Structure 1
Amino acid sequence: MLLKRTLACAVLLALSGCSEPTNTSDQKEVKSSMNQVNSVVYPETKKGDVVDTYFGENVADPYRWLEDDMSAETADWVKAQNTATFSYLEQIPYRNKLKERLEKLMNYEKIGAPFEEGGYTYFYKNDGLQNQYVLYRSKGDEAPEVFLDPNKFSDDGTTSMSGLSFSKDGSLLAYQVSEGGSDWREIIVIDTHTKEQVEQALVDVKFSGIDWLGNEGFYYSSYDKPKGSELSAKTDQHKVYYHALGTSQDDDRVVFGDSEAQKHRYVGADVTDDGKYLLISASVSTSGNKLFIKDLSKENSDFVTVVGNSDSDTSVIDNDGEKLYLVTNLNAPNKKVVTVNANNPAPENWVDFISETDNVLSLSKGGDTFFANYMVDAISHVKQYNKQGELIREINLPGVGSARGFRGKKDQSTLFYSFTNYKTPGTTFSFDVSSGESKVYRESAIDFNSNDYTSEQVFYTSKDGTKVPMIITYKTGIKLDGSNPTILYGYGGFNASLTPSFSPINALWLEQGGVYAVANIRGGGEYGKDWHNAGTKMQKQNVFDDFIAAAEYLKDKKYTSKKRLALRGGSNGGLLVGAVMTQRPDLFQVALPAVGVLDMLRYHTFTAGAGWAYDYGTSEQSKEMFEYIKAYSPLHNVKAGVEYPATMVTTGDHDDRVVPSHSFKFAAELQAKQAGNNPTLIRIETNAGHGAGTPTSKVIDLYADMFGFTLYNMGVKEL
């Protein structure tokens, strides 16, 4: 049973000697007047006198007041910035045209792969432009019925559903609800036969799975509600609770995490399919976990340590009685599968089951077999193994791209998987576990002809000689004369891998003659733990160098030119764009940092940000680390008198993963110091979070604005 580790990154990400803001007489007041800069009217942003001291060095933080997401002053600033931004965007002549085309591209029936629970077949479906996917079900040959429709949870579609978990016999369903994109959620339990809610909702749940113990109750995770703002206050001690159905949440029992010895930032619980074992994964950061096991068949049994440190990532994927199957990168950077007896589960007793290879492994199970999905230069290769560790077959995939799925219950004879790449809309296939035969189950109905486009993989050389792969997609037959509008996308962190995947949003860009390039830079997981580590802490500059080299490659090979190149990335990718634009403002024309980690000296003081220290280190860690981080922190490297690319920072006012003050402060610095004629805007989505659960209507508006801004600042006059 794969342990559900709901970490604050998919996932993706207290200062000593700091002074508090003061209201001294010499502090500048907010000015009602507006400064007009290059046809953009920017609000005047006041500067405070906050100074933090790190290892004897004073660092000013003049926009600290924007961290207060509960203040009316910050709300007024947000409103004024959005007024300026949307006044600019309204001048773009083809903005509505882009929006209308994206609406058409996204307006097709989208249906997910079916899954079986309690005698019913369930599936997700979106009729086209519905803000949220609807959960349907059917029994036998009966027509499907709507089972749960999140579009009815709120009038504007900003309340979403996630974290679906059925009880053992499928008679009960627990699901999570998020309002405005927040990571804080409720858990609602319903009777699947009547669809009626069976008890009061659990509240204040964050970064949680839901794992049932039979039909009697379930395990979930959360933090104590923080003092102050629930959107930005630090959350540090995660706990696993057991909720007995029909009892008050106040009576829920803490299973793990209530002591100093058990203090971790991320803790997740899982129950094996047979209900015999409870598994606890505990992490202090987004990489590495401790693993504990408890025998539920024995009353008052204690937790037994499987892995007692956080130097590796290990999870239990399945069990046959006392025999455990684990996936681990302990002494295996590309991951392997091992077996061990649950009574003596320590690493010294592990036996290799599927050995490590030169390619990164991810594992799924279904039909009482295992599926090893290997990344070969970010491309999927899938092999099927039996319970003896013997290779059954290599799956014949329909092309070069990403295969996802191959999951199901032990007794299922048919499984499902999807296949896609950057130019090919996702197709769902059925898979016969016994014969290995794949059949098309459902093709995409999108109005897009993938045959008109080319997607190619290239390898380029980074600053230190490292070879880095990049996939470039474009309309077949384009001229490599440097004139093509190009978006270079990257992430480069948290062991996350960018594998080929189709998006109607990117299809819109391709239709306009745009080139879309994705660089698999260091910090990601495309080549295992070593590739990840090569882009962390004091090797973080490798990530930026890899991205810069990708941009240079695209220009050298005449895919594009400086005037027609944009860089885009979100979250840790927002940091990537922010760092590169402050290091190499001459490199490209447009910067699109989304929900970015941009204040690297203070990121760890908000919500669960301290858990990102494996990748970043912290400004308090050492003088050497402070100096290294400050040297690339986007907020601290905006310089007066420099011409920066045309920039549109994007964030959500309810983002409690990467708090919006990162974006607020960075935008304020850019507006104060931009020397050239390029606009520096911030677009702040209201009632929206880090991205998950964002309604379709807001997604369409956002990307029409983003692509319109990009093309307009590349000098494209008309479409």
Structure 2
Amino acid sequence: MPTNAPDYPRAPRTELVEDLHGRIVADPYRTLEDASDPATQAWSAAQDDLYAQALATTRERAAGTPFETERLTARLRELLGAGFVGAPAWRGERRFFSRRAGDQEHAVVVVAEPGPDGEVERVLIDPMALDPSGTTTLDAWQPSKEGDLLAYQVSTGGTEESVLRVLDVATGEVVDGPIDRARYSPVAWVPGGASYYYVRRLAPELVPDDEAQYHRRVWLHRVGTDPATDVEVFGAGLETTNYYGVSVSRDGRWLLVSASAGTAPRTDVWIGDLAAGPRGADEVDGVPPLREVVVGLDAETGAWVGRDGLLYLHTDLEAPRGRLCVTTPDEPGVEHWRTLVAQDEDAVLQGVAILDDGSSTQAELLLATWRRHSVSSVTAHDPRTGAPVAGPLPALPGLGSVSGLVTRPEGGREVWFSYTDHVTVPSVHRFDAATGTTTLWAAPPGAVARVPDVRVAQIEVTSPDGTTVRAFVVARADALDDDGRPTAPAPTVLYGYGGFQISLDPAYSATTLAWVEAGGVYVVANLRGGGEEGEQWHRDGMRAHKQNVFDDFHAVAQHLVDAGWTTPDRLACWGGSNGGLLVGAAVTQRPDLFAAAVCSAPLLDMVRYQRFGLGVTWTEEYGDADVPTELDWLLGYSPYHRVVDGTAYPAVLFTVFEGDTRVDPLHARKLAAALQHATSSDRPVLIRRETGVGHGGRSLTRSIGLTVEQLQVVAHGTGLAP
């Protein structure tokens, strides 16, 4: 071990080797999988001490710079001080929305409605009022069709184990629930508010111990009744790991149910006529016969019944960049679909909104939002033919991201959408098709911070197989010449994800701005595996093709070096979850290319990943280690299995969360131990553990605290000396 290397705690190491389908696989740190093992606990406690010592040293070195703890904390609070406001969910004259003031720990749910002296706002759900410790998060909410009831789901400690309740909007009183085992459950209200459809797992005693996270069903619940009496609607006999979606049309006639096995990019859809009554004399009202819309085909489809009574389908069937189809609910099968908005060969269809005059259900205008190389655009179409039409369109403030096209359930010519880009906080805009005007509808409630004068460029890089990969480069204007090129190499963060069809589109980021303001360069790579270029782009980075994601990332990193943006001793990689896997692959495949890495809530042991957390639901993304051919894919890049003794690895900061029920912290423990044992570098390998939080939402204070430490460690590792 190098002279200046940290004195790493000794991990329990064994000579465990397994024969897996004829492949000899070593697993020297298997015992670290068990968080309850006293040896694991002692090792973790020693790692906590090591991290505390290293952080103290890093903070001493940051004194007097923008990354001094108090100064950086204050700056991040300032950059986040505008808060957040979400698009409205209209229910008659009431509108519901999420909002977080700049100093609030969590967003709250607000209802606004007419009062005797104008509009009145009331907070309906405040997670801090429910739990002043800040460890309770609001996972989802859904108002009834009339807007007099609100279903909401909360969980504690980061577990994401949502509990469902219903409150009376007028009084704020909880009138239904709690219903547990409602993680990731949609709520589909039936008109009148007496009942709703939702998704709930079977009781633990009804399933094998290691399958308690699965076995979901669609249920019909009547408000105020014991959930034990809920009616099972759908799911029996289908895939154990299925996730379900459920919705009810505005008029209450049509029930739509969707199913996907884990995170597989395939969705089956069924439709039922609630006006047709139950399936038979011994069946329950509210459980109609369900007809196939699209079942068993290799495609994702979202379906809904519009105000005009037609069945609309947003699908990538025979259109990997997406198309919009239409049929009638009485003839829902694929053979009856008519393409309304065809696939664009250069953009991905994100969503649509259909507008009318509010007095008739006859559609007048169809708006479509597109993702064109990660930048949003909007087009207008004839709602009957799909043909492009001239005329006014929503005006977008810049080259950024649009999320959602929200209309009133009762129709009208208005549409609301959220917009953001790299230097613009998210805000809500309103487009009036009658006048062709776009106006700012709702800005975040807090003060918008002064942001540095930055430039954003989208670069194109060629991956080893010839594929063009794009990335956004954010840099201070005074660090660029007149041609937009760097005047000198700078400490640089390269961020990526590359999986699950998730797109890294332009978005406001306090982390990015704080880094760039201090003189760094921040780069966001749009890698295969994501959704930036459609479903084929996703599939080109999954399963047998996962190495493409890492090759894309390495290609962007090498380009940044070759083009003079940075140097390997000033370059850091950063990612979380599936992006943590990306960082693990970068560190173990190209340790020569990076000086530092932030690896957050990562997947790293790809041979055993499906045995823990929600791993089994991701086999369609990565592969199944119980299948010999697929095990070979996984072994080919599994970071834990690619560690080589005597390699000079970058500095690595693993950040893990003890409440994480998606990705078990064992992954970070095992790779940290392996890297600490193997590295010939004096650059530290550290673990930052946090309790009371999990994979998803967290309070503002905790978010800032984590970001401060990550930025300080990366600044030290890349030599950023403002």
Q: TM-score, normalised by structure 1?
A: 0.90
| Structure 2 spans left out of the alignment, 5+ residues | 63-67, 279-287, 357-364, 481-485
Q: Does 1:365 align with 2:353?
A: yes
Distance 1:99 1:228 in 2: 48
1:416: Cα distance to partner? 2.1
Amino acid at match of 1:250: A
| Secondary structure of the corresponding residue to residue 614 of structure 1 | helix
1:65: Cα distance to partner? 2.9
1:451: Cα distance to partner? 6.8
Q: 2:536 maps to what in 1?
A: 530
Distance 1:370 1:506 in 2: 36
Distance 1:342 1:638 in 2: 55
Q: 1:194 to 1:48 in 2, by over 3 A?
A: farther
Q: Choose from 2, 8, 11 the match for 1:45.
A: 11
Query: Which piece of structure 1 moves more, 524-533 or 124-133?
Result: 124-133
Q: 2:194 maps to what in 1?
A: 216
Amino acid at match of 1:699: S
Amino acid at match of 1:57: R
Q: 2:639 maps to what in 1?
A: 634
1:565: Cα distance to partner? 0.7
- CA deviation digits over 1:479-523, x for unaligned, max 9? 525531111111111111111111122211111111111111111
Q: 1:405 maps to what in 2?
A: 404
Contact kept? 1:654, 1:689, Cα under 8 Å: yes
Distance 1:532 1:166 in 2: 33
Query: Which piece of structure 1 moves more, 373-382 or 611-620?
Result: 611-620
- CA deviation digits over 1:270-302, x for unaligned, max 9? 212221111111111311111111111111232
Q: 1:187 maps to what in 2?
A: 164
Q: Does 1:378 align with 2:374?
A: yes
Contact kept? 2:492, 2:718, Cα under 8 Å: no
- CA deviation digits over 1:603-622, x for unaligned, max 9? 22223322222221122222
1:382: Cα distance to partner? 0.8
1:547: Cα distance to partner? 0.4
Q: 2:137 maps to what in 1?
A: 160
Q: What pairs up with 1:287-366 in 2 under 5 angstroms? A: 287-300=265-278, 301-320=288-307, 323-358=310-345, 359-365=347-353
Contact kept? 2:314, 2:324, Cα under 8 Å: yes
Distance 1:676 1:439 in 2: 55
Query: Which piece of structure 1 moves more, 705-714 or 216-225?
Result: 216-225
Amino acid at match of 1:483: P
Amino acid at match of 1:439: T
Q: 2:465 maps to what in 1?
A: 464
1:713: Cα distance to partner? 1.4
Distance 1:439 1:365 in 2: 18
Query: Which piece of structure 1 moves more, 575-584 or 482-491?
Result: 482-491
Q: What pairs up with 1:292-691 in 2 under 5 angstroms? A: 292-300=270-278, 301-320=288-307, 323-358=310-345, 359-365=347-353, 367-368=355-356, 369-388=365-384, 389-392=386-389, 393=391, 394-410=393-409, 411-443=411-443, 446-450=447-451, 452-479=453-480, 480-622=486-628, 624-691=629-696
Q: 1:397 to 1:104 in 2, by over 3 A?
A: closer
Contact kept? 2:598, 2:653, Cα under 8 Å: yes
Contact kept? 1:596, 1:658, Cα under 8 Å: yes
Q: 1:23 maps to what in 2?
A: none
Amino acid at match of 1:100: A
1:588: Cα distance to partner? 1.0
1:127: Cα distance to partner? 2.3
Q: Does 1:149 align with 2:126?
A: yes
| Structure 1 spans left out of the alignment, 5+ residues | 1-34
Q: 2:283 maps to what in 1?
A: none
Amino acid at match of 1:375: R
Distance 1:322 1:442 in 2: 32
1:320: Cα distance to partner? 4.6
Q: What pairs up with 1:41-120 in 2 under 5 angstroms? A: 41-48=7-14, 50-71=16-37, 73-92=39-58, 93=60, 94=62, 95-96=68-69, 97-117=71-91, 119-120=93-94
1:76: Cα distance to partner? 4.3
1:41: Cα distance to partner? 4.3
Amino acid at match of 1:633: S
Identity %: 34
Q: 1:548 to 1:511 in 2, by over 3 A?
A: same
- CA deviation digits over 1:186-205, x for unaligned, max 9? 00111111101113300122
Distance 1:690 1:57 in 2: 32
Query: Which piece of structure 1 moves more, 264-273 or 167-176?
Result: 264-273
- CA deviation digits over 1:586-634, x for unaligned, max 9? 0011111111111111122223322222221122222x32122102001
Q: 1:12 maps to what in 2?
A: none
Aligned residues: 681
Distance 2:590 2:239 in 1: 44
1:366: Cα distance to partner? 5.6
Distance 1:434 1:86 in 2: 60
| Secondary structure of the corresponding residue to residue 199 of structure 1 | strand
Contact kept? 1:232, 1:606, Cα under 8 Å: no
Q: TM-score, normalised by structure 2?
A: 0.89
1:231: Cα distance to partner? 12
1:640: Cα distance to partner? 1.3
Query: Which piece of structure 1 moves more, 451-460 or 699-708?
Result: 451-460
Q: 1:15 maps to what in 2?
A: none
Query: Which piece of structure 1 moves more, 140-149 or 564-573?
Result: 140-149
- CA deviation digits over 1:504-551, x for unaligned, max 9? 222111111111111111111111111111111111111111100000
Distance 2:42 2:275 in 1: 58
Q: Choose from 183, 187, 191 the match for 1:206.
A: 183
